[in-house]
């Protein structure tokens, strides 16, 4: 018997531009296997800067369950796709104050190709121009130089550093909507 939750593909947000092959597609249950494959290829790659993705999703079913029953239903979760291949993940978590947190990761075999920055541009445009946020920010573990360079290339400015609730030292990068 087929699970009815998995039969119908919910309407999903797709973000793309006319001048790039990278697109963001909001995660649906059918994406769970592709998402898990990226994690399973090299979980240590994701763990190197404290990312908990590999530990949160030890199986395709755990990924699928997180899509069907999200802990934060307001969070936008996207797969980063290039020419039909999932290469990473990008999330936007709204806050009540006109701000949203942006987070991303790219599978090890896909790093160095600009995917995080290209996807970030799509998500920033979505946050500012479709959702109306005034500010987006990224918190990056101190020492994660590739992520630091990527957000700086995307126009984010370092506003400071802090130690989070788990005792992890992080940089905060912020991008504000430009006045029209």
Neighbouring C-beta atoms of residue 33, cutoff 10 Å: 13
pTM: 0.88
Pick the CATH number of 12-176 from 3.60.10.10, 3.40.50.740, 3.30.1330.10, 3.40.630.30: 3.40.630.30
Summarize the confidence of residues 55-84 as an average pLDDT.
Answer: 93
**100: CB partners within 8 A, 6+ apart:** 92, 93, 94, 127, 131, 133, 135, 136, 137
Altogether, the residues listed in the chain come to a count of 180
The tens digit of pLDDT for each residue in 102-143 reads 999 999 899 899 999 999 999 999 999 999 999 999 999 999
Residue 179: per-residue pLDDT: 63
- pLDDT tens digits, residue range 2-50? 444 444 555 889 999 999 999 999 999 999 999 999 988 878 777 776 7
pLDDT for res 2: 44
């Amino acid at each position: 018997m087929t699970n009815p939750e998995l039969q119908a593909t919910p309407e999903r947000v797709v973000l793309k531009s006319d001048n790039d092959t990278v697109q963001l597609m909001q995660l649906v249950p059918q994406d769970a296997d592709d998402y898990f494959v990226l994690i399973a290829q090299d979980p240590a790659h994701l763990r190197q800067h404290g990312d908990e993705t590999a530990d949160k999703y030890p199986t395709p079913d755990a990924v699928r369950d997180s899509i069907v029953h999200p802990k934060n239903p307001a969070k936008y979760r996207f797969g980063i796709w290039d020419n039909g291949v999932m290469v990473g993940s990008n999330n936007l978590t709204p806050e009540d104050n006109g701000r949203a947190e942006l987070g991303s990761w790219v599978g090890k075999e896909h790093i160095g190709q600009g995917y995080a920055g290209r996807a970030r541009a799509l998500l920033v445009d979505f946050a500012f121009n479709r959702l109306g946020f005034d500010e987006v920010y990224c918190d990056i573990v101190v020492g994660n130089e590739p992520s630091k360079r990527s957000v700086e290339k995307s126009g984010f400015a370092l506003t400071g550093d802090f130690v989070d609730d788990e005792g992890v030292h992080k940089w905060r990068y912020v991008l504000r909507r430009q006045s029209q």
